[in-house]
Amino acid sequence: MFKEFIRSPAGLAGTLILLVFSLVSVYVIISFPLDYGTRYWSNPKYWEDYPKLVPPEWFNYFVPYKLPRHYVNDLDKPSEEVENIKKWVFIYNFDADKFPTGIILKYVNLTFYRDIPIISLKVKRPDGVEIVLMDYDGGIPPPRSGEQPPYVRFVESPRTIVLGAEPQVIRKVTAFANTLGVNCTTSDVRDAGLLPYIIFGRAVSNKCVAESFKPLRGIYVFEVELVGDKRDNIGLVRLVIQGAVYGAMGTDYLGRDLAQGLLFGFPVALFIGGVVAMLATLIGVTLGIVSGYIGGRVDEAVQRFADVMNNLPTLPLLILFVFVLGRSLFNIIFVLVLFGWAGVTIIVRSMVLSIKSSQFVEAAKLAGAGRLWIMRKHILPPVLPYSFALIIFNIPGAILSEAGLSFLGLGDPSIPTWGQILQQAFDNGALQNFAWWWILPPGFLIVLTAVGFVLVFFALEPLVNPRLKRQ
């Protein structure tokens, strides 16, 4: 039977899809923490270094221009040390046709002994021009009264300087833009996010827009300088130059690595689909057997109820239930099971009716077997293989329903799912920004999972459905 199943192209393709999806899920379960959603995915702080809303790295192979990659470098020791001056030197080779999307300077474990040290940042451009981006860091808390040296700062959370949001840096960069002949004001630079264009570009017109700058390729040397007491030091300095492409799947508006969110969606989708389909089918098969075998008023009641549940406009009710009960995974599963069993009951009952009239059931009855015993020993076994196929058939429906609910903003907020990624994409202007990498992959994964299960069901049905088998 298995050979027959694999030989059909639908069965083979479906099995392959599901196999890959299961392997990915296992990998995710092993390598991701269970609280990934709350700890990382929904925590914007965790993603602050990442470039925002940029396509995947392989996008570079499909466009005639080159987008800069993400640059991160950590220095745990000063590159140069002269007397009381320490220098951390970062060398960034800019060789792209488009501009990076932002610059971030971070450091941790600042230790000083007397006055607050002066931390400055400057960049030497390939054309020989040197821009001082920052004279001093005004964000270092001074010693508290009674605090003894050494004073240690930024131990738990690093000092983060987002250059495009730092007034001092913007002022200096604006002044530099004016020397290039571009008429910018500080608010222009801040609001339009022109900082990377000015630092990494040469001017081709005097209008204060991004198009006025052409990339100036070559080696950029960023120098972080600390002037203070001889013993003053910084534990780790990090320079991030946010790229215009990132990772395997790009990033969203918060800079989240979409590859991670999509990966985490695999086990979640399979779990929701599997659990809902299993529970709904279990209830459906039980009710179908009982209603079909016992008959009479029980049958009438169960069938009328199933008929109603099967035909009601379920989507509004699903939305309402999840909204009222609260957006949690458990509630979503509960509601999907509640509206999912009816179809199975109707199918199983029709099978039971034909089994019921067969001779071995009559014989068992004559031999004095109880109802429960007959249902368990004679009715259930022939129904079981088909029930298994029905579980597979019901999985894609559950996955699609969850995705739909999530798309309406009713998903469990603590877990990233494909539907939620799509919802956030839709609500945060992915369409308007043409962020195709944010919309197409989650949707295709939803569709592909569903297709996998549908194909397996199509290949399985003729093998397990007694009615189709006979033909």
- Judged by the rule CB under 8 A, the positions of this chain that interact with other proteins are 304, 308, 311-313, 315-317, 319-321, 323-325, 396, 400, 403-404, 407-409, 422, 426, 431-432, 434, 436, 439-440, 443, 446-447, 450-451, 454-455, 458
Nearest approach in angstroms of CB 327 to other proteins is 12
Phi and psi angles of residue 213, each rounded to the nearest 5 degrees, phi first: -115, 140
Count each helix (H run) and each strand (E run) in the chain, helices first.
Answer: 17, 12
Nearest approach in angstroms of CB 335 to other proteins is 11
Separation CA 353–CA 10 (nearest Å)? 31
Cβ proximity to other proteins: between 271 and 323 the closer is 323
Separation CA 203–CA 199 (nearest Å)? 11
Nearest approach in angstroms of CB 397 to other proteins is 8
Nearest approach in angstroms of CB 57 to other proteins is 21
Nearest approach in angstroms of CB 18 to other proteins is 13
Nearest approach in angstroms of CB 308 to other proteins is 5
Cβ proximity to other proteins: between 212 and 406 the closer is 406
Alpha-carbon distance values, 387 to 271, 289, 352, 405, 411 (Å)? 19, 11, 12, 26, 29
What is residue 452's three-state secondary structure? helix
Cβ proximity to other proteins: between 132 and 317 the closer is 317
Cβ proximity to other proteins: between 160 and 423 the closer is 423
The CB-side HSE value for 3 (13 A sphere, CA atoms) comes to 0
Rg (Cα) of the chain, in Å, rounded?
A: 32
Cβ proximity to other proteins: between 116 and 456 the closer is 456
| The one-letter amino acid at 387 | S
Helix 342-356 vs helix 380-407: crossing angle, to nearest 10: 170
Q: Tokens 């987008």 sit at which residue?
A: 67
Cβ proximity to other proteins: between 316 and 368 the closer is 316
Nearest approach in angstroms of CB 453 to other proteins is 8
For 351, residues 6+ apart whose C-beta sits below 8 A from its C-beta are 288, 292, 382, 383, 386, 466, 467
Q: Within a 10 A sphere around the Cβ of 234, how many other Cβ atoms? A: 24
Separation CA 152–CA 73 (nearest Å)? 23
Contact 383, 285 (CB under 8 A): yes
Cβ proximity to other proteins: between 373 and 444 the closer is 444
What is residue 154's three-state secondary structure? coil
Alpha-carbon distance values, 112 to 116, 140, 154 (Å)? 7, 11, 12
| The one-letter amino acid at 8 | S
Nearest approach in angstroms of CB 343 to other proteins is 13
Nearest approach in angstroms of CB 431 to other proteins is 5
Cβ proximity to other proteins: between 143 and 443 the closer is 443
Strand 130-134 versus strand 118-124 pairing type: antiparallel
Q: Tokens 């996010």 sit at which residue?
A: 193
Cβ proximity to other proteins: between 363 and 431 the closer is 431
Q: Within a 10 A sphere around the Cβ of 3, how many other Cβ atoms? A: 6
Nearest approach in angstroms of CB 467 to other proteins is 11
Which pair of tokens denotes residue 329? 């995974």
Cβ proximity to other proteins: between 59 and 458 the closer is 458
What is residue 450's three-state secondary structure? helix
Cβ proximity to other proteins: between 296 and 313 the closer is 313
Contact 346, 307 (CB under 8 A): yes
Nearest approach in angstroms of CB 323 to other proteins is 5
Nearest approach in angstroms of CB 316 to other proteins is 5
Cβ proximity to other proteins: between 63 and 384 the closer is 63
For the chain, the maximum distance between any two Cα atoms, rounded to a whole number of angstroms, is 104
Alpha helices for 101-243 (secondary structure H): 167-179, 186-192, 195-199
